Chain A
């Protein structure tokens, strides 16, 4: 069930109403939320409901086993078992094919065929997200940062439909306390939620889909047919497309959660206004960044053991973060570009995040350099293969006629980047203006928003890019 669909609109009306009607009956509400979330997930493929339920059960079993022990060794053993189970699940569904194909192609060079069958494994939607959330629960229990939650709460946490399939990656210690008591039915920031939902729909349905279909897909599929300028604009177009697609999805998710009374962490904060790669990662997919920081980078040593160890930890974190996005060498290289970039920035003392002491020119230059480094990474992220990525980069040196670009595409790219430079106070002013509206007027604005989004968008909705990760 996609957010921009009639099915979801009707589903949400029912869930929103039922959720607030049941709010005072905590257990009934949890069963209702779990049932609704399983309906949402089962609409993709009901066979994977067992996987989601099994993951919830195993992680809760590990957490309980850990909580019942006082000896550190035993707790660590259970932690290892829990992490291994989660990574094993992810590995089987996400990386088995990549591993076997890579092994076969590498060993095939020597005439060896490894005895590993190529299986038809279909990647369950959202598995990377709910597995990471499950790991956050087990690790936080191990670290004694949270207590073991009731089993039903854990099931609701891992299945909660707004963030289930593509984030934001909400940590157990953020979500479970919100389940402990009823949400207050008098304190819903409806205008903020409406802005997030309508803005997210516009970004996804209008900006991302149009750029993908009319510019990015053709150029990345056949770069040889396009001139340097077209390829360059298509790379910018992809930067905007993936931002609009992914931030659009998580904005909708955060807005829907707000209407249900939940606060989710922010996931994007004007990433293309970043003045360094370090700054970029504080603004892009923020919930993954902090997950990687807390559960991977810091356990790897972080910055506490000298520059070399720090560099190794950054590189390992970013390469593994790349692999999290997909089982392909393109993602490994994407992660490595960011990893080496972060290390180089740090070595050169350029990992700046504060613009207050900089001149306007310096900030602009830094933003341009950072944006283009990020775009270099996106080429590998989007290209079907490493050789395709190099072909695309090679085309940047091939001037020629321009036939593909349309004013509409250029306007959408300008909007996608320009919106990140809109001052926060302007957005707040807009929200305050909308805040004067009555519920009926707010509903009318919402209806008009749905008209604009649906009429401007293409027929049918392409899957969200991050569903595949």
Chain B
């Protein structure tokens, strides 16, 4: 045991002894105590009123959930709430706030949601020169396995800093870290200008009722008209679809036919708008169930891309597998240091993982457009 003198002398955190009693320190003097009944009434009113005032947003959140019992239960609660809110004009204050903030009518609004902080990546020991791990897979900078490429689109003028290649990056939450990496790699070239990086959590091609990506991208074509579009979908797409009144699962042939048709239509739309499209494949996931679903999605992406010379499928599956071909969270980075490539969910990328996926995509884009890679790449 140490005496109080020692504690008071502590150079850190001696607040408990010198600032008085800490417990209950949140309680200022003179504020009335309330009874439990009063508290329950106030909380019930706050939650109910808060629900009514935010009812449209709650309904949108419920609608964007995967088809199933959870969504049904949420809608059972949210739909009447939204109806009452609308009838009582209680949805107007929020609509006014959103208008004042310049938010659009999209159910999801315009704000991207921040991804989980990526401090998960362990830092390699800085005191040693890096050496590739002899047990690790080949150099991550090696070219990705892509389908046979058509001849690059002839460029009208040489791409320079003054006449840059314009690029849009968009998709679901996989773009969170990946988009930053693409932006950074594009910046390193000095001749690629990013027009926008946009990602929407929980979005995809399966659920246009949440984010209508074909419409979003049509708008991008009209307003930004980028030379290149890099798209990343699939993280949320392997979910049940309501097809002609019947709920179909991703394993069903009808589901796959519908999804293929949506992918095909979107690719046609982008090609017709004159874009060169790079369609990212999903990486191997930790969950074997997801591996099967993502393999199915990747097969649709790659075969549809193969049918169009202007669309390139970028396969990153094996880049995130270990030497045994299975999911590996830890893989060597460019320097050969073993680092954490994936977030704890076994799907999303850490910063290092995002660069591992972005490099082959960027290498392909540079090659297709006759752009010299930066010296340090």
Contact = CB atoms under 8 A, between A and B. Distances in A.
Interface of A: 6, 9-10, 12-13, 16-17, 20, 23, 97-98, 101-102, 104-106, 108-109, 111, 113, 118, 120, 122-123, 143, 174, 185-194, 196, 209, 212-213, 217-218, 221-222, 224-225, 254-255, 258-259, 261, 263-266, 269, 278, 281-283, 286, 289-290, 292-293, 297-298, 302-304, 310, 314, 317-318, 326-330, 342-343, 345-346, 351, 353, 381-382, 384-387, 424, 427-428, 431-432, 435, 439-440, 442-452, 454-456, 458-463, 465, 468
Contact of A384 (B22, B47, B118, B127): B118
B53 interface: yes
Nearest to B331: A118
Contact of B54 (A297, A387, A450): A450
Contacts of A265: 16, 22-23, 25
By DSSP majority rule, is chain B's interface helix, strand, loop, or mixed? loop
A224 B144 CA distance: 27
B339 interface: yes
A373 B42 CA distance: 43
A76 to B, nearest CB: 14
A10 B47 CA distance: 8
Interface residues of B, number: 104
Contacts of A255: 26
A141 B77 CA distance: 48
Contacts of A329: 122-123, 125-126
Contacts of B9: 302-304
Given A106-B127, A459-B109, 7 more contacts: A97-B329, A113-B135, A259-B39, A265-B22, A293-B13, A345-B11, A439-B34
Contact of B34 (A188, A266, A381): A188
Interface string B9-43: 11111111011001111111111111111111111
A204 to B, nearest CB: 12
A282 B15 contact: yes
Contacts of A283: 15
A22 to B, nearest CB: 11
B14 A109 contact: no
B372 interface: no
A432 B28 CA distance: 9
B120 interface: yes
29 contacts: A9-B47, A118-B328, A118-B338, A188-B34, A188-B38, A212-B117, A255-B26, A259-B39, A263-B23, A278-B12, A282-B12, A286-B16, A290-B15, A292-B12, A302-B10, A318-B12, A329-B122, A431-B28, A439-B45, A449-B46, A451-B93, A452-B97, A454-B54, A454-B57, A455-B57, A460-B202, A462-B114, A462-B115, A468-B120
